[in-house]
Amino acid sequence: MANQEELELDTHSAVYYHWRVWELTGLMRPPGISRLAYRMYSIVLNSVVTVLFPLSLIARLLFTTNMAGLCENLTITITDVVANLKFVNVYLVRSQLQEIRSLLRRMDKRTKSVGDPAELSALRREVDIAQGSFRTFARIFVFGTTLSCVRVVIRPDRELLYPAWFGVDWKNSTRNYVLINIYQLFGLTVQAIQNCASDSYPPAFLCLLTGHMRALELRVRRIGYGADGKEEVYEELVECIRDLMRVHRLREIIQQILSVACMAQFACSAAVQCTVAMHFLYMADDKDLTAMIISIVFFTAVTLEVFVICFFGDRMRTQSEALCDAFYACNWVEQLPKFKRALLFTLARTQRPSLIFAGNYIALSLETFEQVIRFTYSAFTLLLRAK
């Protein structure tokens, strides 16, 4: 058995940063704050940023007259609107998020009662990966926000952080220009924080599911190889079956949470890829190197976002297959008939690997990412021929 220090485990800490962001941006009321005060704070913050910020981008898009500007503004607008929809989806599934929190506590308690160092290490590794993914996304958003600010500062003429319409003359009014840029910087910062959590919580939850599957796999493989009697081994199998039911329940909740968010990401990526392809083709004629670089960066970013969720989804599927194999690998030959019957029923339940589906239809797997790349290539070729 591991000592008390080694048994310290809280897998919900994988989404610790996300939870803090959701509290900060008005989705999850932290303890110690009154319901009314937090509700007013949430309404004001999200009205000023989550609603008005994308509306200013959409309004600017409607006033764009040239194709190059339309493509550039459309890319930014689509990305921001979809990001806000994913943020709203977090609000709609907050009850499922609370259920995951309580379920993880029960699963952690079970793992600590077993006390196997390999299981604890596997879960801690997934927590570290999940937290690392958030920090990686945070660095990317900090870099993007800083780059937007630098671009405004170094330009000789007046320009906003993002193309937007506010209904006032900011080019000839210093006061309006400063106020709008202050608002955009505030809105951009809040949106970056929101988007960082929205883009990184699907990999984090997939890591949690993968980790608990791995811990259960190790637990199942040990069944029957100890010095316990056959009745004790049967009880051990029953406990592992209960653990498997908890894992399946965790997968069901994560499916509910990620279905809309991942589908929105797929739709956003497809729309942005096509728009960026058009922008790239038009800028190639104008030999605008800066615009072409921006197009390539946007294209790469949305493609990588799809790759990340497909990679972690495929990783979870591979682990679910290993969990199924673990039931075959336990020492079942010498066990009681009731052990073998329970094992047969369990094997029948675990024959199909677990998958998370975007929109309950598109599997999060590397095969799906390959299809996305093929679709992108086909769309780009079609646009090139139609040009």
DSSP string, 161-198: SS----SS--SS-HHHHHHHHHHHHHHHHHHHHHHHHH
* Three-state SS annotation for 38-68: HHHHHHHHHHHHHHHHHHHHHHHHHCCCCHH
What CA–CA distance (Å, rounded) separates 11 from 30?
Answer: 19
351 has a pLDDT exceeding 70:
yes
pLDDT the model gives residue 208 = 94
pLDDT tens digits for range 249-296: 999 999 999 998 888 888 888 888 777 777 766 665 555 555 566 667
Half-sphere exposure at residue 242, Cβ-oriented, CA atoms within 13 angstroms:
11
Q: Which of 86-100, 141-155, 357-371 has the lowest mean pLDDT?
A: 141-155
What CA–CA distance (Å, rounded) separates 230 from 285?
Answer: 77
315 has a pLDDT exceeding 90:
yes
Paired tokens of 210 = 């993968």
What CA–CA distance (Å, rounded) separates 84 from 194?
Answer: 8
Percentage, residues of the chain above pLDDT 90:
38
pLDDT tens digits for range 173-195: 889 988 998 998 898 889 889 98
99 has a pLDDT exceeding 90:
yes
What CA–CA distance (Å, rounded) separates 56 from 189?
Answer: 16
Paired tokens of 207 = 């890591």
pLDDT the model gives residue 111 = 92
* Alpha carbon separation from 149 to 79, 143, 289 (Å, rounded): 19, 10, 20
pLDDT the model gives residue 293 = 64
What CA–CA distance (Å, rounded) separates 263 from 257?
Answer: 11
Q: Among 5-19, 142-156, 234-248, which range has the highest average pLDDT? A: 234-248
What CA–CA distance (Å, rounded) separates 317 from 210?
Answer: 8
pLDDT the model gives residue 294 = 62
Half-sphere exposure at residue 177, Cβ-oriented, CA atoms within 13 angstroms:
11
pLDDT the model gives residue 387 = 59
Ordered alpha helix ranges (H), the chain = 16-24, 35-46, 52-62, 67-92, 94-114, 117-154, 174-221, 230-286, 289-329, 337-349, 366-386
pLDDT the model gives residue 2 = 46
What CA–CA distance (Å, rounded) separates 18 from 285?
Answer: 43
Residue holding tokens 């600017």? 60
Q: Using alpha carbons, select from 201, 59, 29 the residue that is nearest to residue 130.
A: 201
Paired tokens of 353 = 């690997």
What CA–CA distance (Å, rounded) separates 65 from 57?
Answer: 15
pLDDT the model gives residue 1 = 43
What CA–CA distance (Å, rounded) separates 16 from 33?
Answer: 19
pLDDT the model gives residue 195 = 87
Angle of helix 67-92 relative to helix 94-114, nearest 10 degrees? Answer: 60
Mean pLDDT, residues 12-38 taken together: 91
Quote the mean pLDDT of the chain: 85
Give the CA angle between residues 365, 144, 24 to the nearest 5°: 80
Residues 6 or more apart from 253 whose CB is under 8 A from it?
Answer: 96, 99, 100, 103
Q: How far apart are the first and last CA of the chain?
A: 68
Confidence of residue 360 (pLDDT cuts 50, 70, 90): confident
pLDDT the model gives residue 284 = 54
CB 68 within 8 A of CB 291: yes
pLDDT the model gives residue 5 = 44
CB 320 within 8 A of CB 210: no
Question: 362 — phi, psi (to 5°)?
Answer: -95, 115
pLDDT tens digits for range 108-130: 999 999 889 999 999 999 999 99
CB 170 within 8 A of CB 158: yes
State the virtual CA torsion across 88, 312, 270, 359 in degrees, nearest 10.
Answer: -60
Confidence of residue 139 (pLDDT cuts 50, 70, 90): confident
Q: Which of 27-31, 151-155, 303-307 has the lowest mean pLDDT?
A: 151-155
Confidence of residue 132 (pLDDT cuts 50, 70, 90): very high
201 has a pLDDT exceeding 60:
yes
Residue holding tokens 């995951």? 100
Q: Which of 151-165, 321-335, 336-350 has the lowest mean pLDDT?
A: 151-165
